Amino acid sequence: MATNLLLVYVVMMISRVAFFLENWSTFAPFMSWQLFRDMFHGALAFDTSAILYVNSLYLVLTLFPFHLKETAWFHRILNWLCVLTNSLAVASNLVDAVYFQYTGRRSTITVFSEFANEGNITSIFLIEFARHWYLVLTFAVIVALLWICFRSPSNSVWKKRWHYYVVQTVSVLVLTPLAIVGIRGSATAGTRPITISNANQYVNRPIESAVVLNTPFSMIRSIGKSVYVTPDYFVSEQLATIYTPERKPSPSDSLAMGRKNVVILIVESMSKEYVGSLNPDIDGGSYKGYMPFVDSLLKRSLTFEYSFANGRISMDAMPSILAGLPMFVEPFFLTPASLNDVHGLPHLLKQKGYFSAFFHGGHNISMGFSAFAHSIGYDRYFGLDEYCRSKKYGGMDDFDGKWAIWDEPFLQFTLDKMASLPEPFLTTVFTASSHHPYRLPEQYLDSLVEEGGQPIHKCVRYTDLSLRRFFERAERQKWYKNTIFVIVADHTNQPSHPEYKTDLGVYRVPIIFFTPNGTLKPQLRSDVIAQQTDITPSLLHLLGYDKPYVAFGCDLFADDPMESWAVNWNNGVYQLVKGDYLLQFDGEKTTAVYEFKCDPLLKRNLIGKVEKQAAMEQFLKAVIQQYMSRMNENRLTVADDD
């Protein structure tokens, strides 16, 4: 048994090495010998826990004192059991080596809910198996190693039965508490079992915790766990004085534009890195990016130098952008809190006579978008089903084969439907083509070639072209000049430059406000911190909305720029951006403070050296407590916004 467990330790560590090598550019530049030693120490603790979880049945069958286990056929069962369970554990690690590139964290049990309604997962896996054949080969070698090196116990049965039972019973009594200690990760009385967040104590950056963790542990320890746990940082009276998400707009507002139409374009994976004019210092000023149309639109738009996503996957974006809800711990869609009452932007504007529609070219149940759109008040949902019913377009011939209708035809379809909507309207479009597995329509295979070292770049160019043709046609519509456009990414993807690979860089997305009639002065604002959750309060301000509502964000046009902020959750660590600083907080204490504007690579941890650290930590605690308590108590609305 001991030999077999040692073998499992070896193969688990091999899969971790494969994980590290697959994500070399994320981890290797920041490695040091001290960090390596700390990671290895932590990895042993988490592997021990995972191995004991995964092999619990094998251990029970091996240790329990009964003679049946001494037979040859039972040994074969143990062999199969050990190889099968540990092969699945290794497979989950190797799959996560690829999936981590899109989520920035180890997968938890909610990953099964995330893709529960997607019918294309098998084909996606097959594509990735082909692209990452070396990981498939690694898996085959590991399975072979487990099978060949497995050692069965002796078949002999002791003649002295009482001696046999005594030794076996003592073994169980001794090894059981040791196994419990291994699973808990500590032998110290009164301590809690190790959790996913404990991995951060072995690393310098939250994202590095993924190397310390393993996927079986992350999945097992997230089964049945309460996603939102309300901390008791403050009593309720004190909490409300530090921060509240309940916003009470002023009825009189000099910037109110009246009954403008609103078009929100949520662009798949549009990192700020891909927009050349937002990166004037990259490559000595010669960097052009991959979105020339967006660059041209920025000359007529209001945007922000410091703007951030609140999450890392598409599911995180809709609640943040359309309801002012950041992502903490798990995607909102996948938690019981998704059944809470949420009065998002369409619900609030409906009270002002707005008609609303949501557009996404994927299957109508894809990613839970249609369910959430309905829950926050959208009047209509247009997806793949509606597109295919239109005789004007190619139906499933325009389907990319994996996720959705290509951006170019679907955006034109969107314009067709918008022409028939009553004004004022709110429409939201979620694009899809700049998504893994990064395919292009056949007619663009020669003209939009891969460049810049990342497969996504050609797809970003295609989406940019699709947006150009959307606006070229939109500007001929009668509603165009009476419209506020917002262009924002759902999240980042495949960074190339080091400043976009940091704990903060992986959240940097453009947030763009464009008014064709020039009501909003074109400018690049550097005096404010912007985040996705600011979009709803900012739009409500521009439209003169005057009732209370809940949103975890700022009004970018009325709030004091010095009080603006951004927040996200990074591998068990909360991140707060405010003023010149980034603060990282693990739920109990601050772990790092960076002056991110002059230290974009986050190399100098200023913890304990920044005067504003205590105030930032207090503010972040208040945001967390408000969020958790409101999620658990269904308080995401206020009475007056009905």
Residue 624 lies in a domain: no
As a whole number of angstroms, the distance between CA 186 and CA 383 comes to: 51
Domain-embedded: residue 238: no
In a domain? residue 245? no
**CA–CA dist 517, 484 (Å, integer):** 9
* Domain endpoint, select from 526, 546, 566: 566
Place of tokens 């557009």: 359
Domain-located, residue 117? yes
Q: Does residue 467 lie within any of the structural domains?
A: yes
Question: In terms of residues, how long is the chain?
Answer: 642
In this structure, the answer to whether residues 418 and 466 fall within a common structural domain is yes
Q: What pLDDT sits at residue 287?
A: 92
Q: What is the pLDDT of residue 90?
A: 95
pLDDT for 190 equals 47
Tell me what pLDDT residue 368 has.
81
CATH number at residue 382: 3.40.720.10
Assess whether 299 and 158 both reside in one domain. no
d(CA 97, CA 142): 16
Which residues of the chain carry a pLDDT beneath 50? 157, 159, 189-190
pLDDT for 305:
97
* Residue 177 structural domain: 2-220
Does the residue 630 lie in any domain? no
Question: How far is the C-alpha of 634 from the C-alpha of 326, rounded, in Å?
Answer: 16
Q: Which of 566, 581, 605 is the last residue of a domain?
A: 566
pLDDT tens readout for residues 481-506: 999 999 999 999 999 999 999 999 99
Tokens of 183: 């699973």
Q: What distance in Å separates the CA atoms of residue 38 and residue 126, rounded to the nearest whole number?
A: 36
Q: How many domains does the chain have?
A: 2
418 closest CA partner among 379, 448, 362: 379
Give residue 156's pLDDT.
52
Q: Which two tokens stand for residue 473?
A: 């046609």
Give a yes or no: residue 626 inside a domain: no
Give, rounded to a whole angstrom, the gap between the first and last alpha carbons of the chain.
64
Q: Nearest CA to 267 among 299, 297, 305, 300?
A: 297
DSSP character string of 431-466: --SSSTT----GGGTTTS--BTTBTHHHHHHHHHHH
Instruction: Report CA dihedral (544, 315, 368, 465) to the nearest 10 degrees.
Output: 80
Please name which of 299, 297, 345 lies closest in space to residue 321, comparing C-alpha atoms. 345
User: Are residues 99 and 21 both part of a single domain?
Assistant: yes
Q: What is the pLDDT of residue 189?
A: 45
Is residue 39 a part of any domain in this protein? Answer: yes
Provide the pLDDT for residue 92: 94
What is the pLDDT, as a whole number, of residue 298? 97
Contacts of 106 (CB under 8 A, 6+ apart): 96, 100, 196, 210, 213, 214, 215, 218, 571
| Domain shared by 180 and 286, yes or no | no
Per the confidence metrics, is the pTM higher than 0.95? no
As a whole number of angstroms, the distance between CA 225 and CA 227 comes to 6
Residue pLDDT, tens place only, 105-132: 898 887 877 676 666 677 777 788 888 9
AA letter at 554: C
- Annotate 156-224 with three-state secondary structure: CCCCCHHHHHHHHHHHHHHHHHHHHHHHHCCCCCCCCCCCHHHHHHHCCCHHHHHHHCCHHHHHHCCCC
